[in-house]
Structure 1
Amino acid sequence: MNIKLNLFFLLIFQIGISQQYDTVYIEAENIDENNKIYKPGSVFIYDYEINLNGEKLKLKRNEGMFANSNFELTPISTDSIGVTKIHLIVQPIENNNRSNENQTQISYLQEPTFASITSTGAVENEKNVWIHPIRSGFFNCLETASFPFVKTPLKLNSTWTDKMQIGEGWGNKMWGTWEGKLLLTYNYKIVGTETLDTEMGKVPCFIVESTATSNLGVTKLKSFFSEIYGFVRLEYELLNNLKVNMWLIETKNEVEFNDTGTFFKTKKYMKQQ
């Protein structure tokens, strides 16, 4: 039992030390009150596509996290897709129950089964917007890229930098492996604006190009940020000819969420869903 507990706390420690991003401005109090996008009671539904060596894929199964990740890819044209959409939800929560101190609590679920829920953090205030991407199973790969992040005021050619260390448990032969801690150095730049045609209509966005440089090489993230909907589209270029695209297709506001027990019993996270 002690061995299992020690391994559990080691896992939590290794995950925890990866959350650095020292230049993100985080409020000490009133954490959720001034959020204009990622407000408690909000839901953001994303479609996604994985591209490996030019082949378009989705996930047949996807579970676990860190060293316990378990996933399988399948061609996008088959009927064996097990993860069709990704839901980002913002649940109201008491300060002492937050997964990440002084950050807005966000959670990710995978449609259609909603068999599990993983929680992490986001930051939104008058100085910056930053979100931790989904990291279940295959999406461990996104830890090797820069996180969605904008600093305000939003101006063309604005640049900023940051860095973070991640543990070797985030690695995989598909997107790169390493021993010990991997230092990622981030560079961000607002390179332009574009109005995207989305399922919510035409959405004006700022285009942010960012890189994460490490001993493994350079990964890229091109994000499209809306002052109304947040990160509308994310285009990742990772190592080993791996690409991941995610795009927002629907939002909901003032949602009432089921408690944890009801969620695991019904597999529904919204009341009266």
Structure 2
Amino acid sequence: MKKNYFGYRPCLYLIAVLFMGCTQNLNTQQIYKPGREWIYQVSEFDSKGGLVDSFSFPLKVLEGTFFLQTQIQYSVTEHKPDGSKIETSETTGVAELEDKIWLHPFRSGSLRITELAPFPEIRLPAAIGKTWNSTITIGPGWKEWAGKKVENRYHITDTTSIRTPFRKFENAWKITGTGTSELGVYKVSHYFHDKYGFVATHYQKPSGEKVFVELKEVNF
């Protein structure tokens, strides 16, 4: 069985993205090129640090656009106890502009929480100490979360090394952030590499549970 998943964003936020795509030049050092693929490993931890679950999913860059952004696709296969499988896919976008690179994360299953935290984004030119904010209103496709506002805060804190299942990355930009709403404060650390893009994201829920999304493999 296969089901498609589409996240909903607020109208004003979508208009802002469209305006951004129409009025700014593309980043000439494109990372997310059609045909490229990233495979990420997801590790879920309880509040005491114990591993609860792990799985992998691909990010594929497709030809064409998604609301004037470069089109990308995520998919994950869930294995049921009865032996059946459910494949969930999401087609969305990534924006590479002169002043920012901004990526829609995978937002299904245990990764629904990414809607409540700052999305992967880096402002260019990157510099330690740079900060920015954004506010979103969660759209109607999110059922119990619909209509809730999330105040996002970003801060480029450092350049650091980070090891993922793929390799060790040197001089990755570390962007920390918080997403604050009536559902609590969701913390995030994004790690951005100049060649491979977003190589890791570490989420922490208000409960103390954590979800790590880390690069496992690429095809380039």
How high is the TM-score relative to the length of structure 2?
0.81
Inter-CA distance 17–114: structure 2 relative to 1 (3 Å threshold): same
* Match for residue 86 of structure 1 among 46, 57, 61: 57
Inter-CA distance 164–244: structure 2 relative to 1 (3 Å threshold): same
Shift of 1:197: 3.2
Q: Does 2:218 align with 1:246?
A: no
Count of residue correspondences: 207
Deviations 1:16-69 (A, max 9, x none): 4278274897332898784621111110111111113333122xxxxxxxxxxx
* Match for residue 28 of structure 1 among 22, 25, 30: 22
Q: Is the 8 A contact 2:39 2:216 kept in 1?
A: yes
Give the corresponding residue for 1:220. Answer: 187
Give the corresponding residue for 1:51. Answer: 45
Fraction of identical pairs, as percent: 28
CA distance in structure 1 between the aligned counterparts of 2:202 and 2:190, rounded to whole angstroms: 6
Inter-CA distance 119–240: structure 2 relative to 1 (3 Å threshold): same
CA RMSD of aligned residues (A): 3.0
Inter-CA distance 133–43: structure 2 relative to 1 (3 Å threshold): same
CA distance in structure 1 between the aligned counterparts of 2:127 and 2:29, rounded to whole angstroms: 20
* Match for residue 156 of structure 2 among 190, 197, 210: 190
Inter-CA distance 210–24: structure 2 relative to 1 (3 Å threshold): farther
Q: Which runs of 5+ in 2 are unaligned?
A: 79-84
SS at match of 2:87: coil
CA distance in structure 1 between the aligned counterparts of 2:110 and 2:60, rounded to whole angstroms: 20
Give the corresponding residue for 1:109. Answer: 75
Deviations 1:62-97 (A, max 9, x none): xxxxxxxxxxxxxx6xxxxxxx3111010112x4xx
Q: Is the 8 A contact 1:25 1:127 kept in 2?
A: no
SS at match of 2:215: strand
Instruction: Name the aligned partner's letter for residue 51 of structure 2.
Output: K
Q: Is the 8 A contact 1:18 1:164 kept in 2?
A: no
Give the corresponding residue for 1:120. Answer: 92
Inter-CA distance 210–23: structure 2 relative to 1 (3 Å threshold): farther
Instruction: Name the aligned partner's letter for residue 90 of structure 1.
Output: V
Q: Is the 8 A contact 2:26 2:98 kept in 1?
A: no
CA distance in structure 2 between the aligned counterparts of 1:24 and 1:146, rounded to whole angstroms: 19
Q: How does 1:108-257 map to 2 (within 5 A)?
A: 108-110=74-76, 115-167=87-139, 170=142, 178=145, 180-198=146-164, 199-253=166-220
Q: Which runs of 5+ in 1 are unaligned?
A: 1-10, 59-75, 77-83, 172-176, 254-273
Instruction: Name the aligned partner's letter for residue 33 of structure 2.
Output: K
SS at match of 2:8: helix
Deviations 1:221-241 (A, max 9, x none): 111111111111100012333
Q: Is the 8 A contact 1:132 1:148 kept in 2?
A: yes
Q: Which has the larger radius of gyration?
A: 1
Instruction: Name the aligned partner's letter for residue 15 of structure 1.
Output: Y
Q: Is the 8 A contact 1:31 1:102 kept in 2?
A: no
CA distance in structure 1 between the aligned counterparts of 2:152 and 2:8, rounded to whole angstroms: 19
CA distance in structure 1 between the aligned counterparts of 2:134 and 2:37, rounded to whole angstroms: 28
Deviations 1:85-118 (A, max 9, x none): 111010112x4xx3xx111111102268793421
Inter-CA distance 195–251: structure 2 relative to 1 (3 Å threshold): same
How high is the TM-score relative to the length of structure 1?
0.66
Instruction: Name the aligned partner's letter for residue 85 of structure 1.
Output: S
